[in-house]
Chain A
């Protein structure tokens, strides 16, 4: 430690203060780059212009409708993907023969980029919300399925055999042995699925033109409303951060009893 550093008050090193300073620094840099003429302001408008455009957007009805469209597609996509992924995962995972049979197919289908389905979605649903949903569900489903499969494979054999020797019914074993073990993995899957679903929802809107924030970004780009475009991109980023925080928060609260979370909090 140098004497200079020791002279700083302790709160200057606090993570929250440093984080806020970092964000403020970013805003300042974006303000200065175009103002000083280092970057063409038709390419990157200064922070003040982006914030003004953001305020404008927040005042229009169209923005809120688009936000709602995006969130509805996102929520349905996550819901369907989680439901299907958990059911399929439990069914496949708890029957060893099924797991062996499907392993190669899952390994093959999972890495197929979901954007490959864009042309198909366009042909099937045009620019309706259905094409967004198709892409969102496809991408999010694999995240959940794979996590549930890991979770089921993680079941303690002693617990499983104990349950068997106490003659638990098949249902009771799923309910009291399999499900609690798999639950943390399910939550990881939900968290991953939630962020992938947002990416795909906005991508679909951007490329296909189904209603939502992504379409608004494409429209802003086409009409050369650059500050509006940046404002909408900031909105999607904030949305992503919020969804991430929400998923983490929900995980910690609903899984508060579980070893993996308890251990994390203590450490």
Chain B
């Protein structure tokens, strides 16, 4: 256990120490000493700054992401169980997914202006495709025997969806949700860089434009921490929701 912790901490500490030592006497304008960046971090991201800049960003992120998840899973279920519908809309969906999500920002600005609504819609539009397509795939790949068994036991209607189809498409849906999460963070930042009066993306660009370099670095570090924390949270949630699947796979691995 101690060995594992030591291994996990060794390299980060080494890198951090290296950065600290190498940058200590740095005269370079763009790469200020780490000590200066950390001081700037403490001064910049105070509680009130977190409340006025980070909280709005997070709220947009969460509402956009959750909406995209609900829409994506709902539509994905509908498309996945209907073969004809799937063949009809699949090329259209592939096209929409292939459009790089950030180019949606100018389009949605036309419709929704530059308020909070625009940012949420941008996030929804960008995140919905991976969730949708993965749900369709997951629903399509549900074991035929399971479906027939469920039918012969009289499991129909809503129970068929919540008890049979959703759980067995679960791992695939989770994969889509994970992809969507990183897209959501990117879109949150981009939409704020484009047009906003608060938020994390806006603040970082402001620092860059006013050449407040240590503050800019501290913003980049904060964004990195945020991305890391969100992916950690997601993994915890995923492990909880898909516990049966992890157990099944572990058992299969032992048997195989």
Contacts and interface: CB of A to CB of B under 8 A. Distances in A.
A119 B205 contact: yes
A186 interface: no
Given A101-B7, A229-B107, A207 B190 contact: yes
Given A21-B88, A22-B91, A113 B103 contact: no
B92 interface: yes
A199 B101 contact: yes
A15 B89 CA distance: 10
The 7 closest A-B pairs by CB, nearest first: A240-B98, A119-B208, A18-B87, A116-B223, A237-B99, A112-B224, A111-B231
Given A13-B84, A105-B12, A120-B30, 18 more contacts: A21-B88, A22-B88, A23-B91, A26-B92, A42-B110, A101-B10, A108-B12, A113-B223, A116-B189, A124-B30, A202-B100, A207-B102, A218-B106, A232-B103, A237-B96, A237-B98, A238-B95, A241-B98
A243 B228 CA distance: 29
B100 A240 contact: yes
B18 interface: no
B107 A233 contact: yes
Interface string B169-212: 00000000000001001100110011000000100110110000
Contacts of A202: 100, 102-103
Contacts of B7: 100-101, 103-104
Nearest to B89: A22
Interface residues of B, number: 54
A113 B189 contact: yes
Interface residues of A, number: 60
A115 B202 CA distance: 12
Interface string B77-116: 0000000100111111011111111110111011100000
B29 to A, nearest CB: 9
Interface in A208-267: 214, 217-218, 221, 226, 229-230, 232-233, 236-241, 243-244
